[in-house]
Amino acid sequence: MRVHAFSALTIVLSFLAIFNPPAFADDVLYPVEMILTTTSDWTDVRFIGCTLVVQSYEIQEGSQAPGLQVAADSALSIGKNSFDPTQVVVRITAYLANAADTWIRVAIDKGHIGSTNISILATGSQSIASFTHTGVANNTSSENTRTFDLRTSEIASRVAVQILDTPSEASIGGQKVLAFYYPWYGTPGGPSGEWVHWTPSQSNYAATHIPTAGYYDSLDTETIRRHIREAKSADIDGFVASWWGVHSFEDRAFALLLQIAEEEGFLVAPYYEAAQSPLQMVTDIGFILSRYGSSPAFLRVSGSPVVFFYVRVIGQFSLSQWGSTLALLDERGHGIFAIADSLQPQYLSVFQGLHTYNPVGMSSEEVAEQYASASLAARIHGGLFAATVLPGYQEAAFRASSPVADRANGETYHSYWDIARDSTPHWILITSFNEWHEGSEIEPSVEFGTSYLVQTEEEASVWRSGGPVEESTVSDRDSDGVPDNVDYCPDWPGSAAANGC
């Protein structure tokens, strides 16, 4: 299975290598089936030169293998207990999208035991290609990779090509920029009457950076109004506000936020964070809609109020439980447009949209792959994809396990915007407007002033206009004249004729 280890330096260097994305065009889809078979203890299969979009998968053999884990999104993965030789067979229905003109490269990683085979079939089980990796390709490589080349023409000649329209302002949900918003701060001198989330006993009051406006109270109406006006100045359409339960501190702030958003011509949606049971979710969402759903400031898609669900609560319940919960809301007249914190395409069988709150912890290449795949999957299902960008990430309370993304003087933020734009999303989400504990805020700070509000307006304007993106530096680590973004062997000098190998 894929394991990621990151440092601030790794993330910064990775993001500085992002290239200028091509002009948007309609997407070309090749519908295929695949059979992935392995007797190794783990295996990954990646497709280079196209985007994999998984529709569904089925474990046909080996479902009782100890420690079995299967993942199918922008890549295919099977994992088991170490040195377990049980044969596992998975059948996948998928699309290979936007394939390179000539070749697609298939990269198979696996453990040092057994073998892995990937068979690619046209609909109706007509064979297109089959590739097998046996044994050990390189004893010094933990990935143990073998690569194989597949002619794009071999796929195109055997399947019916499908064309998918690019999202636009006329698409589902329109074209919006939203920012995650935290209405959970209190101060002794504000309406809260006490410190809430700001913690005087900790450095910087538990904030990574210092707000230019000082430590403020989320129940203060002028603070909320200032936040909304700052966001609007940065071309942000609305906030996705953290919500923690009926009559909670955040619920009180949500009511004020909606009220002022109505006055300021702004949009708001709740970010549902945690629940003890599906029934509690039904009660909570019913409360939110009964109390706030009629507000003109409540974000809607096709007439339905939008509710985002954070990964914590997504992981608490099975997909079938989510299906039952959302169906029960519909029955009770509280239907919603539900957006899951997941990039897994199977969630589109229940939810209407996908997003991720925090992509830090993935390499830039994997973020790009997963965004592109999730965006295509959402559009295929008639749903919505929201791509997330952030300026940086550094928790105030340091933990060794926490990911870090240095701001790199705005380059990290710019690179995330490049990736997001290139994925052709319906919406772009900013993590965050004011999550001061995690150092991801774009709200003005002592350290950065208003620079991230200014940059947000510039980046959003480019996205909305569909215009060219300012070129970023393209790296060429092995100095062979083939940029890393198209170099199959970016750390080994090669030639352009061999894709850098």
Distance CA 277, CA 281 (A): 7
Residue 495 neighbours by CB under 8 Å, 6+ apart: 480, 482, 501
- Predicted confidence (pLDDT) per residue in 228-241, tens digit: 999 999 999 999 99
Task: Find out whether 152 and 159 touch, Cβ atoms under 8 Å.
Answer: no
With cut-offs at 50, 70 and 90, classify the pLDDT of residue 22.
very low
According to DSSP, the β-strands at 76-79 and 42-48 are antiparallel
Q: Which of 2-11, 189-198, 351-360 has the lowest mean pLDDT?
A: 2-11
- Segment holding 88, helix H or strand E: strand 88-97
CA atoms of 376 and 355, how far apart (whole Å): 13
- pLDDT at residue 76 in the model: 97
Residue extents of the structural domains in the chain: 26-164, 176-465
Question: 355 with 367: CB under 8 angstroms?
Answer: no
DSSP lists the bridge partners of residue 51 as 97
Mean pLDDT of the chain: 89
Contact criterion met (CB below 8 Å) for 253 and 218? yes
Least-confidence region, from 19-23, 248-252, 299-303, 495-499: 19-23
The answer for 91, left when phi > 0, alpha when psi is -120 to 50, beta otherwise, is: beta
Most confident of 154-158, 383-387, 401-405: 383-387
Confidence of residue 482 (pLDDT cuts 50, 70, 90): low
Q: What percent of the chain has pLDDT over 90?
A: 80
What is the token pair recorded at 412?
Answer: 């990290």
Q: How confident is the model at residue 481 (pLDDT cuts 50, 70, 90)?
A: low
Q: Which CATH architecture has domain 176-465?
A: Alpha-Beta Barrel (3.20)
* 281 HSE (CA, 13 A, CB side): 30
331 Cβ contact partners less than 8 Å away, ≥ 6 residues apart: none
pLDDT-derived band at 300 (thresholds 50, 70, 90) equals very high
Residue 337 Cα to chain centre, angstroms: 18
